[in-house]
Structure 1
């Protein structure tokens, strides 16, 4: 049976399939929300082709799926490759294909979701803090050997607080313990821990700080991987020991602390020595010292006895003769050295005497020379400046005479 539809009932707004899909494409692809959208879901299927990786992302609870593709050029940039059954967080953009009447999510990045996402964030934060040098061994400070005051940051309801109190009391009676309460799990825990550490620093009495809590599920310990807590430990003015949970992987707080233990009790044991052990070690040192002194005393007594025996075997007159011979030899050496020095000094004196004799003016006069002086005592060395009738004084080897210049004979040519 054919149904007849009058032409007047067909609307003028009817569009073709191509027009409809083109309209949908224009609606979806330019949309800012869809050009860069994060989508979370479970990978239900995945197939790899030369052009790229095609997979389906589904929401099991809502029974919804979306087709996704990672082009070959983008595969190596993904943090997590899509594998069937895994939860992922996808970053991509919507693309409409008019030929197939379908839309698809073009994937740029894929991250693990759930616990996998937490692990990824943990690794990224750890690498960044490590690059900043917060975990360098050179930054870690040594713990005080015998602290008198210790601060503890933990929850007052936690079993860790009781374990630490008992351990400190048993190991080091009389120790002063400052308690700075804090939340150690939940969203408010990081800020609470920061405030507790700040209280300890403001107080100024503690020589070491224990940050602790008992064991628990991994998600309950996330506050100790919080960047704010890690940097508060790094910037703390006193050494910090962490005792967080039981045997497990290290937290970032453990890595930045000056020392860490896997339990609160072990952290308390690291903070203070055990007085009983110290006393035993002190007694051992005293005994070792007494043994060393006695051994040295016995060695000295034995050496003294050997010297006494040697003296008994050596007659006293023989010792005296040996000493006299030694003294005579030393005397002979001294006389020889002194004689040599005296001879050298005499020769040097004679040489100086000869030089002085040669330079003595009186010796020159003795050889027939004379010294002519003017009235002012100045020696006349030439006729320059002399005048007729001028009185001069002539010094001879023996005596002096006064003369007058009667003639000046110039020897210059």
Structure 2
């Protein structure tokens, strides 16, 4: 028989819906007293800051099992900070299941670094508090003098750091005056010892730079450089401080408060003073540069002097007077030529006016046989309409004049 032809089994009356099954698991998870407040240890594998809160994943590095976690924003402001990726932590929270995604999530209330416990938490809280006070601000840090006359070193007399610093100074800057302020740099009595050494150096007043140093060591060995008393003493010190504490992977609160952090004693000594051989090389280079500049400057001034001498010869009073005389003679010749040309032009114009005047002279016209007729009143007669029969007229001829009477008038 074909299996497809077999009758379907009857639907059981106890079957749960997806929502019902999910709510069942939600009740199991959220109502379990042990899961309402549970401590979980794991490694942070990812982090995602969000306006609503800090979301991260807590992973078991051995089993490769992970759980989603969240620190809501309202709870986040109450904590010293948030965990960082790859950090091993212990978190306190409660489980909650989301039916829509069928996922559960750990709501974190508190967390501490695993293996360090409250000590690391307190150090982080101290760092945040001192940072809020501005003790680590870059604006507070002072520049290190380029050529300090005296350097004070604070470290343990038995520490290898003191020998490293002495050898570095002897090699780099022979003749430098060193002030050694011994202090304990490990143990419970080291913070007040370091603070007291800083105060001694400041009261002495000779040092231009202070080096606070110790070699590498375990975290607990460097605990004194995270002490609040030491950090405040460094931040308020009147002399620039260079720290050379431990190795580069160990950054203490003292490093953050110092004016310069060199991480190792030898590096701190290198920062404090320049290399004498480099200073000699720089000096020789400056001398050579100055000689080269002076040679070029003298050459430029010689060329300028030669140019000025040539100008002085060209601008001498005798030469200037000679040129002025030549210019005056040239102007005189130009003026004479201009006057002669203007005179000829005026003569031509005068002759033209004279010829025109002759052509327009009434006497000349009369001399050609014409006569000038005037009335008794002396008005020149130009038309027959101006006279009547019986009027007397005066006729001017080329030689003499004639008086006549009008006998008749003929229209023109």
Q: What's the TM-score once normalised by structure 2's chain length?
A: 0.53
Distance 1:197 1:89, change over 3 A: farther
Q: Distance in 1 between matches of 2:251 and 2:89?
A: 25
Q: Distance in 2 between matches of 1:268 and 1:48?
A: 64
Paired position in structure 1 for 2:153: 152
Shift of residue 87, structure 1, vs aligned partner: 6.8
Shift of residue 191, structure 1, vs aligned partner: 1.5
Paired position in structure 1 for 2:116: 115
Paired position in structure 2 for 1:233: 234
Residue 253 of structure 2 is aligned to residue 252 of structure 1: yes
Q: Name stretches of at least 5 consecutive residues in structure 2 with no aligned partner.
A: 1-26, 41-69, 94-107, 328-412
Residue 297 of structure 2 is aligned to residue 299 of structure 1: no
**SS of structure 2 residue aligned to 1:242:** strand
**SS of structure 2 residue aligned to 1:209:** strand
Paired position in structure 1 for 2:209: 208
Paired position in structure 2 for 1:359: none
Q: Distance in 2 between matches of 1:322 and 1:116?
A: 102
Q: Distance in 2 between matches of 1:48 and 1:210?
A: 62
Kindly provide the CA deviation profile for residues 121-178 of structure 1, in whole angstroms up to 9, marking residues without a partner as x.
Answer: 2322111111111111121122222222211111111111100011112222222111
Q: Distance in 2 between matches of 1:267 and 1:314?
A: 67
Q: Distance in 1 between matches of 2:38 and 2:189?
A: 38
**SS of structure 1 residue aligned to 2:123:** helix
Q: Distance in 1 between matches of 2:305 and 2:268?
A: 55
Q: What's the TM-score once normalised by structure 1's chain length?
A: 0.53
Distance 1:149 1:88, change over 3 A: same
Distance 1:310 1:88, change over 3 A: closer
Paired position in structure 2 for 1:394: none
Paired position in structure 2 for 1:341: none
Aligned residues: 254
Shift of residue 224, structure 1, vs aligned partner: 0.9
CA contact (8 A) 1:209 1:239 kept: yes
**SS of structure 2 residue aligned to 1:187:** coil
Distance 1:117 1:76, change over 3 A: farther
CA contact (8 A) 2:71 2:109 kept: no
CA contact (8 A) 1:89 1:113 kept: no
Distance 1:74 1:300, change over 3 A: closer
Distance 1:291 1:189, change over 3 A: same
Does 286-295 or 111-120 show the bigger shift?
Answer: 111-120
Q: Distance in 2 between matches of 1:110 and 1:247?
A: 27
Kindly provide the CA deviation profile for residues 290-340 of structure 1, in whole angstroms up to 9, marking residues without a partner as x.
Answer: 1111101111212333444566678974422457899xxxxxxxxxxxxxx
Q: Distance in 2 between matches of 1:306 and 1:108?
A: 88
Q: Distance in 2 between matches of 1:48 and 1:312?
A: 114
**SS of structure 2 residue aligned to 1:115:** coil
Distance 1:232 1:48, change over 3 A: farther
**SS of structure 1 residue aligned to 2:153:** strand
Distance 1:268 1:110, change over 3 A: closer
Q: Name stretches of at least 5 consecutive residues in structure 1 with no aligned partner.
A: 1-46, 59-71, 92-106, 327-413
Which structure has the greater CA radius of gyration? 2
Distance 1:311 1:54, change over 3 A: same
Kindly provide the CA deviation profile for residues 13-61 of structure 1, in whole angstroms up to 9, marking residues without a partner as x.
Answer: xxxxxxxxxxxxxxxxxxxxxxxxxxxxxxxxxx994579546569xxx
Kindly provide the CA deviation profile for residues 334-381 of structure 1, in whole angstroms up to 9, marking residues without a partner as x.
Answer: xxxxxxxxxxxxxxxxxxxxxxxxxxxxxxxxxxxxxxxxxxxxxxxx
Does 231-240 or 180-189 show the bigger shift?
Answer: 180-189
CA contact (8 A) 1:48 1:54 kept: no
Distance 1:114 1:307, change over 3 A: same
Q: Distance in 1 between matches of 2:215 and 2:324?
A: 84
Paired position in structure 2 for 1:77: 75
Distance 1:51 1:168, change over 3 A: farther
